[in-house]
A = this chain, B = another copy of it.
Amino acid sequence: MSNKASHQVIFMPSGRRGRVEEGESLLDAAQQMGVEIESICGGKLKCGKCKIRIEDGEFQKHKITSSADHVTPPSKEEVELLKKMGEHDYRLSCHAFVQNDALVYVPEEARAHKQVIRKSANERVIEIDPAIRQVYVEVEKAELGKHHGDWGRLQDALKKEWNLDNLSIDLPALQNLQANIRKGKWAVTVTLWHKEVIDVQPGYKEGIFGLAVDVGSTTVAAYLCDLRSGKILASESTMNPQVIYGEDLMSRVSYATSNIDGLEKMHAAIIKTINQLAKKAARQVDLRARNIHEAVFVGNTTMTHILLGIDPVELGSAPFALANRDSYDLKARDLGLKFHPSANVHVLASQAGHVGADNVGALLAETPYEQKQVTLLVDIGTNAEIVLGNQDWMFSASSPTGPAFEGAQITFGMRAAPGAIERVRIDPETLVGKFSVIGEEKWSDDWQTDADASLDQQPAHLASGICGSGIIEAVAEMFLHNIILASGRFNPDLTHELIQWEDGKGAYVLASAQQSATGNPILVTQDDVRNIQLGKAALYAGAKLLMSHAEVQSVDRILLAGAFGSFIDTKYAMILGLIPNCDLDQVVAVGNAAGDGARIALLNKDKRVEAQRIAHWVKYIETAIDPKFQDEFVTAIHIPHAVDIFPQLKNILPEKSAPKSNKADPKIRRRKVQKT
């Protein structure tokens, strides 16, 4: 027992209180009471993170008027550091020692484990607790007669100042250890990944960064994050370079199996691309890729297999066996990734052969497994991953939608990039389509494409092609205006200048030659309509299959994830019958939920464990062998389906009408004349 006097200390805003021995620092007192105050330098007056304010006011029934009474006055060094920080009202809790009862306010920026908010269907609050941490230590000087070695001395310091033990050190860190300790004059900033020292920088350094990467079959997106604040510092995305080896997953699997260096080429391509994205993202904020100390990867199973250099052949046929379903940690350098030489990579767990880490990431971002409502989460890529469930049960499936929703296998398809047609409306009277393209706010009927039009009247981009959301709206509008029938076939009874026929197949002219970047009109063909029908039927059948397994008739909420899900007009998705019946205001686009999940796992290591637990818990339904899926699929090919089942659509949509005139808009005709 100590004979020292003790005093009452209360920390605000948490309100935690306790008795503290006289002379103890407020930082130590806070730690004992479980009040987390951030500190990197551990009381060395380097970081200034642990700032607090001593409050006056009513306290234990005494009115305390002078704050100087509560704690020891600041030293010259503390005053200097606070001055440099521009903080005159604050003290540093590591150097404020208790000498009386005290009421202490901990400002938000000093509270360790800050929070980041994800703006989405659910507002998510994520505790920042990455696998990486950074600490500052002063190391005992080497001297004759002490044979401990620099690594031994560093371990002693980490044990003494941060209570860290059983540590290991990665080779590159060990290789530079002696030089950096001496450069820092026996003071270093140590970066740890779990129990492994991965970097030792000379002196006091601040800033740890991580990269969350979503490896999609079509698009690869990377988010550079500050692992202390949780903020996204830079985002970069690009086309997955593997598309040249096959547009959909199955053609990539077959490329890997039918070419001796197929896997090697696709692996090298994705690694190169990730290196480029990392470099670009880092450059945006004056960093280098080697400042990235950790990365979290998500992707569908084929993508994560190829990323890790694993032949995806087994995913190409039943029983679709994964090499590994669990999360996996490895050194970035073992993949040829040019992050920090000791950086680690965490690949999120997968669920089954065709529901991968990207879907698990989306679950982590949206947490339907914590909610009472029945949620249908749909991530539409080349395959659609579908999850249905709530806090009590959860089913998942993968549906082979094909790449049509991503603009592939569409005659004039393209990915969502500037110039892509993303919105479409068809005039019920004239059947002339108007549209908007990415990168240009004005709808096409406001464009001036004449050579003599002023520059600001001309569109920033002419139409280059049709992206996923554009083709959905085009097909839905074509159906609403009787250009195509419920069967998906072009209306044979309709003769119109904008409808061209070849070999018995119709095609609709959506953009004229003048509106097109290539100078050729952009058409929606019979084959395009077919591909959309096949895709939407697969998606719908998958959802219905899960509903049948779960024995539910309807869902409370539908979340559309992925780039496609973000841009699609949910109303049109319902017209076409992509998704089952649901209140339209409960259908929400949630953006790149997979990427958000990767980011969450990057910022909080416990979320990785949660992700794996959920991945194992969700019950996966194999669509490929379920006869119900085939039945649902065949039924779902037709279009009217949607309008018939969802009567509420009738109030929203324009009435279905036959065009009153089949003559083309004179403006279009004029342009055609100009062209010829």
Contacts and interface: CB of A to CB of B under 8 A. Distances in A.
Among A146, A178, A311, A353, the one with the most B-chain Cβ atoms within 10 Å of its Cβ is A178
Given A151-B326, A326-B151, A308 B146 contact: no
A407 B326 CA distance: 58
A147 B325 contact: yes
Interface stretch (A169-177, A361-369, A384-392, A633-641): A169-177
Nearest to A168: B329
A322 B146 contact: no
A318 B352 contact: no
A212 to B, nearest CB: 21
Among A143, A321, A334, the one with the most B-chain Cβ atoms within 10 Å of its Cβ is A321
B146 A324 contact: no
Given A145-B622, A147-B322, A169-B324, 15 more contacts: A147-B352, A149-B323, A149-B324, A150-B314, A151-B326, A171-B308, A171-B309, A171-B335, A174-B308, A174-B310, A174-B323, A175-B323, A178-B310, A178-B313, A178-B314
A312 to B, nearest CB: 9
A351 B169 CA distance: 19
Interface of A: 142-152, 169, 171, 174-175, 177-179, 308-311, 313-314, 318-326, 328, 330, 333-335, 350-353, 620, 622, 624-625
A148 B322 CA distance: 7
B308 A147 contact: no
Contacts of A311: 175, 178-179
B174 A321 contact: no
B147 A177 contact: no
A334 B170 CA distance: 10
10 contacts: A142-B321, A143-B319, A149-B325, A151-B324, A171-B308, A174-B323, A175-B308, A175-B309, A175-B323, A178-B323
Nearest to A267: B175
A320 B622 contact: no
A189 B624 CA distance: 33
A19 B310 CA distance: 50
A146 B320 CA distance: 9
B324 A174 contact: yes
A340 to B, nearest CB: 15
A321 B149 contact: yes
A171 B624 CA distance: 30
Nearest to A154: B324
A131 B5 CA distance: 55
A310 B321 CA distance: 43
